[in-house]
Amino acid sequence: MDDRTFRNAMGKFATGVTVVTTEFQGEVKGMTANAFMSVSLNPKLVVVSIGEKARMNPIVKQTGKFAVNILAREQEDLSRLFAGQLKEEKKVDFQWVDGHPILPDALANILCNVHSSYVAGDHTLYFGEVTDILMKDEAGDPLLFFEGKYRSIAKE
């Protein structure tokens, strides 16, 4: 099969949208990622997949820590910003928790230390040991991604 067929098939799987953040040399670095999942309850592990050529890859490798910010429906602009899809500059006000920059108003912020990593094809899988979790008090709807487009949950 060709690459386009593979990508189209993978796009049939609806995912949430996250922004992975870390601090590197005094600056906040981040990237949009939808290749994220929980892995283990004991120890508490998650995994995020980062492209080998992504600027974020050597940064996470070097810092040894990252935060996964699970975006709310209203945060599509942040997803686009960290995906490099916005032309204009936008200031982001991060909050800091235990040395991790996090996005306020995300549905959840998952703070991690890199537990291990594994190169798989053209990506590196970073397994993060969860050190803390923050969640919004009020429930909100997630930002979704399906067939290459942002989506939201339909109200019944």
Which has the closest alpha carbon to 79: 35, 20, 7, 139?
A: 20
Global model pTM greater than 0.85: yes
Tokens of 87: 């032309």
Give pLDDT, residue 136.
81
Q: In what order do the strands lie in the sheet with 65-70?
A: 27-33, 18-24, 65-70, 108-120, 123-135, 44-51, 36-41
Q: How confident is the model at residue 154 (pLDDT cuts 50, 70, 90)?
A: confident
Q: Is CATH 2.30.110.10 the classification given to domain 3-38+55-109+135-151?
A: yes
Q: pLDDT tens digit string along 105-118?
A: 999 999 999 999 99
Task: Kindly list the domain boundaries of the chain, sorted by start residue.
Answer: 3-38+55-109+135-151
Examine the pLDDT at 87 and tell me if it is beyond 80: no
| Per-residue pLDDT reduced to its tens digit, 18-73 | 999 999 999 999 999 999 999 999 999 999 999 999 999 999 999 999 999 999 99
CA angle 143, 149, 151 (to 5 degrees): 35
Please tell me the distance from the alpha carbon of residue 90 to that of residue 78, in angstroms, as a whole number.
9
